[in-house]
Homo-oligomer: A and B are copies of this chain.
Amino acid sequence: MVATGSKCRTCKAPAIIDLPRHNAKFCAEHFQELCRRQVAKAIEHWKMIEPGDRILVAVSGGKDSLAVWDLLHELGHAADGLYIGLGIGDYSDTSAVYARDFATARGLKLIEVSLREEYGYDIPTAARATRRVPCSSCGLSKRHLFDKAALDGGYDVVVTGHNLDDEAAVLFGNTLRWDIEYLARQLPVLPARDGLPRKVKPLVRLSERETAAWCVVRGIDYMVEECPMAEGNRHLAYKAALNAVERDSPGTKAAFYLNFVERMVPLLADVRAETVASVGTCSRCGSPTTGEVCAFCRLVDKASAHERVPVELIARRHR
């Protein structure tokens, strides 16, 4: 991760990581300090957390969600976790173990929801039933269940582990299509509305490599494998394209995302207001929707009626 003999910018001890974007190298201690500072800065600048907020972290068992849960506690923000069993074969079974082990070791509360047990479907089956890429029904299911769990449990804010690379890649995709409505809503904080919790992304100032390094220096075991169903998705191609530009000009990715939020988001306020104004309520579950029945309830109908599909069938199709 760093050339032999490199020294920490802060204390001159041997460095363990080189961060070209910050034009600096750090020892384990001062790398952690940098991470804490970046996360505290994001939380403060975008008013992500108010005093007294009850916080729920969306936990997948991967590096980002465990890092953000850990960092919240480091910064004095007590938070419970929510793990959703997506039914993606061994991948889901193993990631659940990482999430549980992390919670148990730290005495934290982890709520668990199983798609199969509680809603009668899993992601491979949903992908087949909807004939769409698995990421589509996965994202939809997670968003709905995070909101519902927050509502049911009286949480004010849902925290997700989206890092800078995630946000920059999504932004790149939305920008390649100039999908104005998606762009208008791509914020580090989505305010609470209609009984829905606030949603915040405290890791947007840390890169993927930095959240992985955080877990390493903190001794956090996490699920290293990518989701087998995400292989070959465009998100990964967008990350690769941005990484190529970042290699030539360190800092490009952070500027891309942060300048967007600073300069472009204000210009999209009208688009955002229109999007929110056109939303009604699902006649089944009460969630915000533009139709009569929300997309999640329609997904449950379709996917739970479908014969169970093993993960291998879908993962292979998308490889």
Contact surface of A with B, Cβ cutoff 8 Å: 175-178, 180, 234, 237-238, 240-242, 244-245, 248-249, 252, 255-256, 259-260, 262-264, 267-268, 271
Contacts and interface: CB of A to CB of B under 8 A. Distances in A.
Contacts of A256: 175-178
Nearest to A253: B176
B244 A240 contact: yes
Contact of A252 (B176, B244, B245, B259): B176
Contacts of A244: 237, 240-241, 244
A204 to B, nearest CB: 15
A245 B238 contact: yes
A271 B268 CA distance: 13
8 contacts: A177-B259, A180-B263, A237-B244, A237-B249, A238-B245, A241-B245, A267-B267, A267-B271
B245 A178 contact: no
A263 to B, nearest CB: 5
Contacts of A248: 234, 237
Given A244-B240, A248-B237, A180 B264 contact: yes
Contacts of A177: 255-256, 259
Contacts of A176: 245, 252, 255-256
